[in-house]
A and B are shown apart, each in its own frame.
Chain A
Amino acid sequence: MHIVFEKRNSVSRKAILLVPTVSFLVSLILTGILLIIFKTNPFTTYSSMFIGAFGSWTNFTETLVKAIPLMLTGVGVGLAFKLRFWNIGAEGQLVFGGVAATWVALFWSPFLPSWLVLPTALVMGSLAGGLWAGIPAVLKVGLKVDETLVSLMLNYVAILLAQGLYYGAWIDPKGMGFPGTKLFPKAAWLPRFSGRAHIGLFIALILGVIMWLVLNRTRWGFEIKMVGQNPRAARVMGVKIGKSIITAILISGAFSGLAGSFEVTAISHRLQQGLSLGYGYTAIIVAWMAQLNPIASLFVAVLMAGLLVGGDQVQMMMGLPSAMGIVLEGMILFPMLAGSLFTDYRLKFITKSRSREAAV
Chain B
Amino acid sequence: MIALITSILAITLRAGTSLIYATIGEIYTERSGILNLGLEGMMLLGAVSAFATVYYTGSLLLALLVAALTGMILSALHAFLSITMRANQVVSGLSITLFGSGFASFLGQRLGPASNGHYLIGLVGKKFTPFDIPGLSKIPVLGAVFSQDILTYIVFLIIPVAWFYMYKTKNGLNLRAVGESPQTADAMGINIAKTRYIYTILGGTLVALGGAHLSLSYAPGWTDNITGGRGWIVIALVIFSMWNPSRAIWGALLFGGINAIQFRLQATGTTISAPLLNMLPYLVTIIVLVLMTWVETLNKKVGAPAALAVPYMRGEK
Contact = CB atoms under 8 A, between A and B. Distances in A.
A323 interface: yes
Contacts, number: 132
A153 B77 contact: no
A145 B282 contact: no
B286 A154 contact: yes
Interface in A264-300: 281-282, 284-285, 288
Interface in A123-167: 139, 143-146, 148-150, 152-154, 156-157, 160-161, 163-164, 167
Nearest to B284: A153
A281, A327, A331, A345 — most chain B CB neighbours (10 Å) = A327
B142 to A, nearest CB: 32
Contacts of B98: 281-282, 284-285, 326, 329-330, 333
B282 A143 contact: no
Contacts of A337: 81, 85, 87-88, 91-92, 95
Interface in B262-277: 273, 275-276
Interface string B9-49: 00000000000000000000000000001000000000000
Identify the interface centre among B99, B239, B294: most chain A CB within 10 Å of its CB: B99
Given A321-B105, A327-B106, A329-B102, A146 B293 contact: yes
A29 B86 CA distance: 24
A178 interface: no
A94 interface: no
Nearest to B87: A337
A334 B91 contact: no
Interface string B231-245: 010011001000000
A58 interface: no
B232 A149 contact: yes
B294 A143 contact: yes
A323 B100 CA distance: 11
A38 B290 contact: no
A327 B105 CA distance: 9
Interface string B282-300: 1101100110011001000
Interface residues of B, number: 46
A151 to B, nearest CB: 10
B94 interface: yes
A86 B86 CA distance: 18
Contacts of B91: 284, 288, 333, 337
Interface string A254-270: 00000000000000000
Interface in B110-131: 110, 118
Contacts of A143: 290, 293-294, 297
B103 interface: yes
Interface residues of chain B: helix, strand, loop or mixed (majority): helix
A160 B81 CA distance: 34
Given A168-B273, A323-B106, A334 B99 contact: yes
A48 interface: no
A148 B90 contact: yes
B172 interface: no
B109 A323 contact: yes
A132 B108 CA distance: 33
B88 A157 contact: no
Contact of A145 (B92, B283, B293): B293
A309 to B, nearest CB: 15
Interface string A4-26: 01010000000000000000000
Interface string A331-346: 1011001101100110
A160 B95 contact: no
Interface of A: 5, 7, 38, 86, 88, 139, 143-146, 148-150, 152-154, 156-157, 160-161, 163-164, 167-168, 281-282, 284-285, 288, 319-324, 326-327, 329-331, 333-334, 337-338, 340-341, 344-345
Given A150-B286, A337-B87, 4 more contacts: A88-B94, A164-B276, A333-B91, A344-B86
15 contacts: A148-B90, A149-B286, A150-B289, A154-B282, A156-B229, A156-B282, A160-B278, A323-B105, A326-B106, A329-B98, A337-B81, A337-B85, A337-B91, A338-B80, A340-B88
